[in-house]
Amino acid sequence: MLLTIGIMARRALIIGISGQDGGYLTELLAREGYRVHATLRPDAEPPERLAPLHEHITYHSADLSDPSSPEDLIRRIEPQEIYNLAAQSSVAASWDQPLETAELTGMAVARWLEALRRFAPKARFFQAGSSEIFAPGQGRCDEWAAIGPRNPYGAAKAYAHHLVGAYRSQHGLFIASGILFNHESPWRDMRFVTRKITDGVARIKLGMANSITLGNLDARRDWGFAGDYVVAMWQSLQQDTPDDYVIATGELHGVGELVEAAFAHVGLEAGPFIRMDPKLMRAAGEQGLAGSAAKARQQLGWEPRTGFRDWVAMMVEADLERVAAEIGSPPPAR
């Protein structure tokens, strides 16, 4: 007699699947054999890039500002792993929307942790934290670097960071957090400087634009590739104990350097195409901080695999293809 042993797929809940990291994390979890449950705003459709993954995903319409939403979802789905990626994630926009940012990027985390404590204390929870919690002017930041946010987004993430630590020690819950430095990809939202630049370069190359307007070209960031960073998120939930991990490359690059690299990829000099707008300049944090991912390397075996020029090239190529399709022309041959 043939015995069929049904192996139940592990259930993960991704809060904020429609953003950049949600797509890469879903790819990873699908490869690992998970059933992925995910929240979408009421009436929102899943983004087109998730279409190839639809057979792995169950979508749940959720209004994250509704206090009962985490409890309802956790009780309905009974996830073993929860990844909280949802946030108002733009530093610049957080000055225009400080209350909304505090609510979704900060307060909503308290609602998730409380629902975890009450209804799924055995589930594992990943919180997407940010390097924006750190005070400026430090050397390479590890998990013990001084906290001193300089904008409403960083302040909301700092609140969430402290809350994660408090819930972990007070209630013994498995809550891991990634203190994530900037990470980019072709799925990055256009509000962020990398994508603004690579989209601009593609449009200029294809004759659809003649300039890109930017703020501070001397601003520096520790940038990596998003596809590498979601690996650390997953790994941090596969450990014996929960912890905080800085996820970073340890390298600083300037916005001007990124502009040069993106234009060089299509064989153009950047100079004639760059315009400056003082309104896009920021008051603080422009020197940039580098991160030390030594703990993640050691405990998770994580490392950034994709180099600066490689992911910049990947983004430019993806934007060339997309813009060419928009205007009905083949991407330029090189």
At closest approach, how far in Å is the CB of 280 from ligand NDP? 18
> Binders of ligand NDP among 46-85, rule CB under 6 A?
64, 85
Q: How far apart are CA 158 and CA 147, in angstroms?
A: 8
- Cα 259 to chain centroid distance, Å, stands at 21
Amino acid at 303: E
Alpha helices in 177-305 (DSSP H): 193-205, 226-236, 255-265, 294-295
Q: Judged by CB, which is closer to ligand GDR: 34, or 134?
A: 134
Residue 253 binds which entry of ligand NDP, ligand GDR, none, with Cβ cut-offs from 5 to 8 Å by kind?
A: none
The option from ligand NDP, ligand GDR, none interacting with 41 (CB < 5 to 8 A, set by class) reads: ligand NDP
- By CB under 6 A, is residue 88 in contact with ligand NDP? yes
- Which partner in ligand NDP, ligand GDR, none is near 176 (CB below 5 to 8 A by kind)? none
Integer CA distances (angstroms), 205 to 122, 222, 271, 275, 312, in order: 52, 27, 14, 16, 15
- Tell me which residues in 197-256 interact with ligand NDP (CB under 6 A): none
255 binds, among ligand NDP, ligand GDR, none (CB under 5 to 8 A by kind): ligand GDR
C-alpha to C-alpha distance for 175 and 124, rounded to whole angstroms: 6
Residue of 12, 29, 30, 104 that binds ligand NDP (CB under 6 A): 104
**Is 130 marked active-site?**
yes
Which residue's entry shows tokens 């041959």?
Answer: 333
Q: Number of C-alpha atoms within 13 angstroms, CB side, residue 145?
A: 27
Amino acid letter, residue 20: Q
Q: Which of ligand GDR, ligand NDP, none does residue 85 bind (CB under 5 to 8 Å by kind)? A: ligand NDP
**Nearer of residues 204 and 226 to ligand NDP, judged by Cβ:** 226
Residue 323's nearest CA partner among 196, 202, 188, 194 is 202
Please give the residues from 6 up to 25 whose contact with ligand NDP meets the rule CB under 6 A: 16-22
Q: Is 285 left (phi over 0), alpha (psi -120 to 50) or beta?
A: left
Which position among 24, 83, 153, 159 bears the catalytic label?
Answer: 153
| 132 included as an active-site residue | yes
Residue 90 is classified by DSSP as -
Footprint on this chain of ligand GDR (rule: CB under 6 A):
89, 91-92, 130-132, 181-182, 191-193, 196, 214-216, 219, 221, 255, 280, 282, 286
The nearest distance, CB 101 to ligand GDR, in angstroms, is: 10
Q: How far apart are CB 298 and ligand NDP at their closest, in Å?
A: 21
317 is catalytic: no
Query: 117 to 146, contacts with ligand NDP by CB under 6 A?
Result: 128, 130
Residue from the set 41, 60, 111, 295 that interacts with ligand NDP by CB under 6 A: 41
Q: How would you label 140-174 residue by residue, b for 16+ Cβ within 10 Å and e otherwise?
A: bbbbebeeebbbbbbbbbbbbbebbeebbeeeebb
* Binds 193: which of ligand GDR, ligand NDP, none (CB < 5-8 Å by kind): ligand GDR
- Residue 220, beta-bridge partner list: 254
**What is the pairing mode between strands 274-276 and 224-225?**
unpaired
**Which residues are at the interface with ligand NDP (CB under 6 A)?**
16-22, 41, 44, 64, 85-89, 104, 128, 130, 180, 182-183, 189
**Residues taking part in catalysis:** 130, 132, 153
